[in-house]
Structure 1
Amino acid sequence: MMRRSLRPLGACALLAAFSAQAQAPLPQRAGTPARIAGAVVDTTFRATGEEIANPERGMYAWAADNLAAWTQAQADAQFAAGYRLVYAPVRLDDHAGGPLPGSVLAGISGGFATARRAGLKVIPRFLYNYPAGETAYQAAQDAPLDRVLAHIGQLEPLLAANADVIAYLQAGFVGAWGEWHTSSNDLTAPASRTRIRDALLAALPVDRFLQVRYPPYLMAWAPQPPRWRDGSAASRIGVHNDCFLASETDVGTYSDDATTRRRERGYVASLSTVAPFGGETCNPADAVEPTPRTNCDDILREGKQFGLTYLNDSYYRKLFHLRWEAQGCMAEVRRRMGYRFELVALRHGAAVKAGQSGELALTVRNSGWARAFNPRGVQMLLRHRASGAVVRIALASIDPRTWLPGSDGKARASFAVPGGTPAGAYDVLLAFPDGAASLAGDVRYSVRPANAADAARSQGWDAALGAFRTGTTLDIH
């Protein structure tokens, strides 16, 4: 924002043979062809340095100045340009004194539908003002606490109905630009901000994350960083830093006191392993003797340190983005933001009977800066080599959210081949569809792994299926 911020094998013998061999370490050497060892097929994969657009991560664009004004043409163009996240301000200025009319709710619902048609996800923020320039924020008006809570209650059905296309929700509502400062109704007082936090968490489906602007508020609610999905309110709230890298304090994001600031930054770094961290850079002119961290070393170090998942692509380019481009690290920044899944190795049984089960073992490396935060499926696709018919098998025991940045995730799963599946040889593909039933069949929301195509080994991305061809074969009999 252009403004400143203040603060599934068949016979028992086959299964036994597989189980014995499955105890051996998975092969790690890239570039080796799929091979059969007894009743087992295994292969490895080669990573690529290509920039890949994937859901819920990366540079974001804007949904106009108001979600309701965002057009389908704009959204489609943003998807075509490689964006998968769109920041969506929702203006409620004219309704601070009363309930939200049906027309406003319909406009918001329409904006979410636009995102869904385009294959995008949004980061909404509801706000009552948008001060122009760098000084008008002091006169910005928000709404009384009771009105804010009433509006959140009205919005709750919309948030539930459209959670599939909501990547993360920025808390909004409070103060200038909805950034939780300079509230004209004293909404930043501890009791008020806690009630707003609780209302937003109650309105937001439990598998979606809220983000708040200021670390001290989070630390007041939970002095110790929460653990991943530990059931606490704190484990559902991340930070959006809208002055990332801009000054020693990130223009008021952190304390002026160095000791306190180190503690706050450490808290946010720990929290980013549990909840999403994102935001934008900003103009540091508001800081006293600003010392912006504008070099490649800075963004590469702090992007990793804070698990950067997303960043505004349009602001503040002059001081940050253009510098990263000039110094040659922008491609890496774009690759590393959020999760980046690389298939490393796959092992599965060579044959199975229809109606019975097999097993597989999969290794995936996350070379990104963050984990995937929202639910996502893992599927084994079987494509009949003669007919082309595809059988999709969910590997429900594998959760991609557990694949941590900078490490290899190893998973074993059973797969059940449906009874009546025609006999024959099937090519094996892997897919990572969206976790929402409404989007699971939309390949635009499937994660494309960062692996190189290899025609000689029949490996590569199948855009029509939203799945990666592994180059292995499963015989069904």
Structure 2
Amino acid sequence: MVSAQFTASNAEIPNPERGFYRWAWSDLNQFSKDDGADAYTNGFRVLYAMVRLDAYKSTALPSSLLDGLRTGFANARQSGVKIIPRFVYNYPDGETEYRNATDASLSQVLAHIAQLKPVLQENTDVIAYLQAGFIGAWGEWHTSSNGLTSAGNRTSIRDALLGALPQEQFVQFRYPPYVMEWFATPPTESSAFNGSAASRSGVHNDCFLASATDVGTYSDNAATRQQQRNYTMALAKVTPFGGETCNPADDAGAQPRTSCADILAEGKQFSLTYLNNDYYTEAFHTRWKQDGCYDEVKRLMGYRLEFVSAEHAASATAGTALSVRFTVRNVGWARPFKARPVGLLLKHRTSGTVVKLATSVDPRTWTAGNTFTHEVSVTVPAGTQAGEHDVYIALPDGAGQLGSDARFAVRPANADNAGSRQGWDASLGAFRFGTTLTVK
């Protein structure tokens, strides 16, 4: 047997579908390659992009908008980033204006979602998570001019949104009480990723930490509020939770939770997967930087996977089975939420030929704060070139068209070690164990 021990890295490692996001420079239907390239270069793997539907409150969406969305998604794909979209009928600027904001009728919203369904289905590979949108001011599910926040209407829109996406995709809703009305108890580990509406309905909190109620996210009643927070914490174990901080002044008498102790505690409690990097920085991000925890927040948000050790036989015969054992721990605040393969790669030391070996391991089961050991049996294909091979582990994107794009692969939080031949290969999108397998 040959074995290797790996060293954890303290560096922030950008990875798909997690971390701080920034706003796109434009609406999604105008999203450019330059925007995506800038985001990727600056370490962002997720961007928030609105789609303004103000001009279509009483009419069908034009083909030009749908084509623009397809182009925007294609530009994201080409740039190596994923999008958090939100469709809105208004974007008011201030207290008075938001009270006068208008949205569309239920029938029009449902018609628009039906038009958008093919676009969303075609581009689900570069949709990180969909925020529900459509209803009320800013698409935040309040202040609807068409009664869309009534129980029946919002449920109809929920069902349409879930139906517009593949079963493995999530929709995030602004208010935990609405989710609690739909599902009396949050989904548990046993029902995670089973395709049910409950297992696909998450929360985005756009006033995270901003006041006792998170500026209306939760109830004014302390006991009810605690029930809602507890539900949201449990929900965030199996569905993605993210959002942004906001201006505490929006809630009279607010006592925002701005300290490092606050974000480090609640980031973990709520399994925080993503957060807006640009808002509301004055009260929150600036203090985190001053008090020295901003980089830690950046590292811990979402999943953070550290390989601990690996071992396998020193040699194998082509056409026969090879057993590989490895241990990984997730030191991040959340689990990976998107299905992706865990594969082993054999790279011939002389020719450079790479052989890919599939496993049945599902990294979505790597829950936050836990360590996992897997022993997998793979077959070294007949005809594999004889000689010494380097062994790698890879977590490519689960979507076919992104699976060969190393920018969308998960990079483990392990340090490179030239002396041990361990390290990340950016071209393969895989981590080299530093072990040798001789194929006979």
Counterpart-to-counterpart distance in 1, 2:62 and 2:340: 35
Are the equivalent residues in 1 in contact too, given 2:342–2:396 (CA < 8 A)?
yes
Are the equivalent residues in 2 in contact too, given 1:226–1:232 (CA < 8 A)?
no
Alignment of 1:68-87 (within 5 A): 68-87=29-48
Alignment of 1:2-81 (within 5 A): 40-81=1-42
Partner of 1:426: 389
Q: Quick one: which of 316, 334, 350 aligns to 1:370?
A: 334
After the TM superposition, which of the residue ranges 402-411 and 60-69 deviates more from structure 2? Answer: 60-69
Amino acid across the alignment from 1:156: K
Alignment of 1:44-443 (within 5 A): 44-227=5-188, 228-395=192-359, 397-443=360-406
Amino acid across the alignment from 2:326: L
TM-fit CA distance, 1:64: 2.3
TM-fit CA distance, 1:135: 3.1
Q: 1:231 to 1:72 in 2, by over 3 A?
A: closer
User: Cα RMSD over matched residues?
Assistant: 0.9
Q: How many residue pairs end up in the alignment?
A: 437
Partner of 1:30: none
Counterpart-to-counterpart distance in 1, 2:64 and 2:420: 55
Partner of 1:447: 410
TM-fit CA distance, 1:70: 2.3
SS of structure 1 residue aligned to 2:334 = coil
Q: 1:259 to 1:90 in 2, by over 3 A?
A: same
TM-fit CA distance, 1:232: 2.6
TM-fit CA distance, 1:133: 2.4
Counterpart-to-counterpart distance in 2, 1:314 and 1:254: 23
Are the equivalent residues in 2 in contact too, given 1:99–1:151 (CA < 8 A)?
yes
Output one character per residue of 1:324-343: Cα deviation in whole Å (capped at 9) or x when no partner.
00000000000000000000
Counterpart-to-counterpart distance in 2, 1:77 and 1:233: 35
Amino acid across the alignment from 2:247: N
Q: 1:130 to 1:65 in 2, by over 3 A?
A: farther
SS of structure 2 residue aligned to 1:54 = coil
Counterpart-to-counterpart distance in 1, 2:421 and 2:33: 37
Counterpart-to-counterpart distance in 2, 1:446 and 1:234: 28
Task: Answer 1 or 2: higher relative contact order, Cα 8 Å, separation at least 6.
Answer: 1
Counterpart-to-counterpart distance in 2, 1:407 and 1:177: 38
Structure number, greater radius of gyration? 1
TM-fit CA distance, 1:231: 4.3
- TM-score normalised to the size of structure 2? 0.98
Amino acid across the alignment from 1:161: E
Are the equivalent residues in 2 in contact too, given 1:122–1:165 (CA < 8 A)?
yes
Output one character per residue of 1:166-212: Cα deviation in whole Å (capped at 9) or x when no partner.
01000000000000000000000000000100011111111111100
Are the equivalent residues in 1 in contact too, given 2:168–2:193 (CA < 8 A)?
no
SS of structure 2 residue aligned to 1:185 = coil
Output one character per residue of 1:410-457: Cα deviation in whole Å (capped at 9) or x when no partner.
222111111111111101011110010110000000111000111111
Amino acid across the alignment from 1:57: R
Counterpart-to-counterpart distance in 2, 1:61 and 1:394: 34
Amino acid across the alignment from 2:296: E
Are the equivalent residues in 1 in contact too, given 2:203–2:232 (CA < 8 A)?
yes
Are the equivalent residues in 1 in contact too, given 2:167–2:195 (CA < 8 A)?
no
Amino acid across the alignment from 2:212: E
SS of structure 2 residue aligned to 1:448 = coil
- TM-score normalised to the size of structure 1? 0.90
Of all paired residues, the percent bearing the same amino acid is: 57
SS of structure 1 residue aligned to 2:95 = coil
Counterpart-to-counterpart distance in 2, 1:281 and 1:302: 12
TM-fit CA distance, 1:72: 1.4
After the TM superposition, which of the residue ranges 302-311 and 410-419 deviates more from structure 2? Answer: 410-419
Amino acid across the alignment from 2:207: C
Are the equivalent residues in 1 in contact too, given 2:168–2:195 (CA < 8 A)?
no
Q: Quick one: which of 457, 461, 475 aligns to 2:420?
A: 457
Q: Which runs of 4+ in 1 moved over 2 A?
A: 229-232
Counterpart-to-counterpart distance in 2, 1:43 and 1:79: 32
1:474 maps onto 2:434 in alignment: no
Counterpart-to-counterpart distance in 1, 2:376 and 2:151: 47
Instruction: Please list every run of 5 or more consecutive structure 1 residues that lacks an aligned counterpart in the other structure.
Output: 1-39
Are the equivalent residues in 2 in contact too, given 1:402–1:409 (CA < 8 A)?
no
SS of structure 2 residue aligned to 1:371 = coil
SS of structure 1 residue aligned to 2:118 = helix
